[in-house]
Structure 1
Amino acid sequence: MPHAAKHALIVGASRGLGLGLAETFLRRGWRVTATRRGPAPALERLAAEGVRVETADIDDDASVAALLGRVGQERFDLVFVVAGVLIDAQRPLHAASRAVTAQVYLTNAVSPILFAETFAGTLAPGGILAFMSSVLGSVSLNEEGGWENYRASKAALNTNARSFAARHADRTFGLLLLHPGWVGTDMGGEGADLDVATSAAGLADVIEARAGDTGLAYLDYRGETLPW
Structure 2
Amino acid sequence: MENTKHALIIGASRGLGLGLANTLAERGWQVTATTRNTLPECHAAINWLTLDINDAAQRSTVKQSLNDKQFEVIFVNAGVFGPAHQDLKQTSDEEMLSLFITNTISPVRCAAELQPLLAADSGILALMSSQLGSLSENPSGAYPLYSASKAALNMLSHQLRESTDPQRQTLLCVHPGWVQTDMGGSDATLTVSQSVNGLADQLDKWRGKGGHHYIDYAGNQLAW
Give the TM interval when normalised to the shorter protein. Answer: over 0.9
**1:61 equivalent among 56, 62, 65:** 56
Kept in 2, the 8 Å contact 1:10–1:80? The answer is: yes
- Structure 2, unmatched stretches of 5+, are none
Give the C-alpha shift of residue 146 in structure 1: 2.9
Quote the Cα distance in structure 2 between the aligned partners of 1:85 and 1:181: 16
Q: Does 1:197 align with 2:193?
A: yes
Quote the Cα distance in structure 2 between the aligned partners of 1:41 and 1:205: 24
Counterpart in the other structure of 2:28: 29
Give the C-alpha shift of residue 206 in structure 1: 0.8
Counterpart in the other structure of 1:157: 153
Kept in 2, the 8 Å contact 1:181–1:194? The answer is: yes
Q: Does 1:225 align with 2:221?
A: yes
SS at match of 1:111: helix
SS at match of 2:174: strand
Counterpart in the other structure of 1:146: 142
Kept in 2, the 8 Å contact 1:89–1:148? The answer is: no
Counterpart in the other structure of 2:95: 100
Quote the Cα distance in structure 2 between the aligned partners of 1:142 and 1:4: 40
Give the C-alpha shift of residue 89 in structure 1: 4.4
| Distance of aligned partners of 1:114 and 1:222 in 2 relative to their CA distance in 1, 3 Å threshold | same
Q: Once superposed, what is the RMSD of the aligned Cα atoms?
A: 1.3
Counterpart in the other structure of 2:2: 3
Q: Does 1:114 align with 2:109?
A: yes
Counterpart in the other structure of 1:214: 210
Kept in 2, the 8 Å contact 1:36–1:56? The answer is: yes
Kept in 2, the 8 Å contact 1:89–1:147? The answer is: no
| Distance of aligned partners of 1:23 and 1:167 in 2 relative to their CA distance in 1, 3 Å threshold | closer
- Structure 1, unmatched stretches of 5+, are none
**1:171 equivalent among 161, 167, 171:** 167
Kept in 2, the 8 Å contact 1:180–1:199? The answer is: yes
Q: Does 1:180 align with 2:180?
A: no
Q: After the TM superposition, which segments of 4 or more aligned residues of structure 1 sit over 6 Å from their partners?
A: none
Quote the Cα distance in structure 1 between the aligned partners of 2:143 and 2:39: 28
Quote the Cα distance in structure 2 between the aligned partners of 1:90 and 1:225: 30
Give the C-alpha shift of residue 212 in structure 1: 1.3
Quote the Cα distance in structure 2 between the aligned partners of 1:94 and 1:57: 29
Quote the Cα distance in structure 2 between the aligned partners of 1:72 and 1:40: 23
Quote the Cα distance in structure 2 between the aligned partners of 1:149 and 1:211: 32
Letter in 2 for 1:169: D
Kept in 2, the 8 Å contact 1:90–1:146? The answer is: no
| Distance of aligned partners of 1:105 and 1:132 in 2 relative to their CA distance in 1, 3 Å threshold | same
Q: Does 1:41 align with 2:40?
A: yes
Give the C-alpha shift of residue 64 in structure 1: 0.4
Kept in 2, the 8 Å contact 1:184–1:195? The answer is: yes
Give the C-alpha shift of residue 100 in structure 1: 1.1
Identical-residue share of aligned pairs (%): 43
1:168-225 Cα shifts (integer Å, max 9, x gaps): 5313311000000000011111200001011000011011101112211100000001
| Distance of aligned partners of 1:214 and 1:89 in 2 relative to their CA distance in 1, 3 Å threshold | farther
SS at match of 1:25: helix
